[in-house]
Amino acid sequence: MSTKHVVSVSGGKDSLATLLVALERCPRADVIPIFCDTGNEHDETYAYLQYLETQLAIEIVRLKANFTAELAAKRVFIARDVRNRREYDTRPVFEADGVTPVPKRDGRGAIVLNKKGKPVQKTVKVGGGRRVRWTNKAKRRALAVMFPSGNPFLDLCMWKGRFPSRTAQFCTQELKTNMAVSFQLELMEAGHKVISWQGIRRDESQNRANASKWERVGTGLWIVRPIVDSTAEEVFAFSASRGLKPNPLYLQDMNRVGCMPCINCSKPELRAIAARFPEHPKRISEWEWRVGQCSKRGFSTFMTDAHPAKDRRAVFADLNIWTRIEWSKTSRGGRQFNLLDEEENEGGGCSSSYGLCEQSELTTWEAATL
Ligand code: SF4
């Protein structure tokens, strides 16, 4: 059996350069470009994939996650949920001096120790707690909308009852990594050796600063990262030297190609998306409503953040996509529109973060985009 070269293509510049290297170094028949479709992409990206297929005379395999079974199981779980436990917030207990912690004791009066042999501090419940089980109202709300939409991103969030966040970035795992790994495993089960080509660069982020060029993952599976030493300019230049245009999104204020928007998108990028592609915030707003219906608490926001309010309505009012867009038009987190900035942008000039239209300074990368 032959070695298959699986190249993850996102529609961005790095994965394109990686694909070009693979096509130049490996037998064409063994190069398999894959695209993990999150369902949260811009139409320009889908069109760009077709452009690449035509220009390079290749076929890009589209992989799309399907959560139909998970949603069906969740519906059954919600409908049957009769748990009567409550979840409480707690606060630590101190002696009268307000400094010395009171140790927690078990039923026999012995001090409870943690794994390191240190005493565990006593805590007390605060407030009336929250019911763990789904209320009948929340059940009705969720069961009315929790059906597969065919959009992987939306279906994933409905299944989870929330949107992903920086600390719970399950979108990457469920929509991209799992799909790519399953595809590679299928090839291996068919008897092929697999080399997974990844388009990442060391100067993209701290996380990727030590990325190696080659990595052996296991028997019959390697990872190669041919452009780790390259800069963004070199990558663009390389593709241009092969006669390929970049994804048009780079020319429209986008400094990355991928989800539109990404849950981690930067303030300027969110502002640009709202100004240039208003249909996307509108779609996200509809998703916020639908995912909120599937959430036990009734609200969910696309871009999450720490918030002091306990009331989910107040949190939603402050963090929903429209409020975030208004915030993206302000400077230093304030609530005022940054009119100066708006006016400066009116002059046209280079609207690309990479200076593709005109000679302009490159902007700093947002960390670790996909
Ligand atoms: S691009 Fe952003 S929203 Fe999309 S899968 Fe990656 S982290 Fe999640």
pTM of the model: 0.81
Residue 102 CA to ligand 1 centre (angstroms): 44
Cβ neighbours around 258 below 10 Å, total: 22
**8 A C-beta contact, residue 349 and residue 243:** no
Q: Is the predicted pLDDT of residue 346 greater than 50, yes or no?
A: no
Cβ < 6 A, ligand 1 pocket: 38, 40, 164, 169, 171-172, 175-176, 258-259, 262-264, 370
Instruction: Indicate if the pLDDT at residue 357 is higher than 50.
Output: no
Give tens-digit pLDDT for 213-225: 999 988 889 999 9
CB 14 within 8 A of CB 28: no
Which residues are 111's β-sheet partners?
A: 105
pLDDT (mean) for 81-109: 91
Cα 275 to Cα 329: distance, rounded to the nearest angstrom: 10
Residues of the chain with CATH 3.40.50.620: 3-67+151-346
Specify whether the CB–CB gap between 125 and 88 falls below 8 A.
Answer: yes
CA distance 350 to 149: 38
Nearest CA to ligand 1 atom 6: 172
| Cα 259 to middle of ligand 1, angstroms | 6
Encode pLDDT of 170-226 as tens digits: 999 999 999 999 999 999 999 999 999 999 899 887 878 888 899 998 888 999 999
| 306 confidence band (pLDDT: 50, 70, 90) | confident
Is the pLDDT confidence value at 62 over 50? yes
Cα separation, 124 vs 207, whole angstroms? 40
Share the mean pLDDT of the chain.
87
Q: Which of 259, 260, 302 to mutate to test the pocket of ligand 1 (most atoms within 8 A of CB)?
A: 259
Provide the pLDDT confidence category of residue 264 given band limits of 50, 70 and 90. Answer: confident
Q: 3-67+151-346: what CATH class?
A: alpha beta
Of 156, 132, 129, 151, which is closest to residue 77 (Cα–Cα)? 132
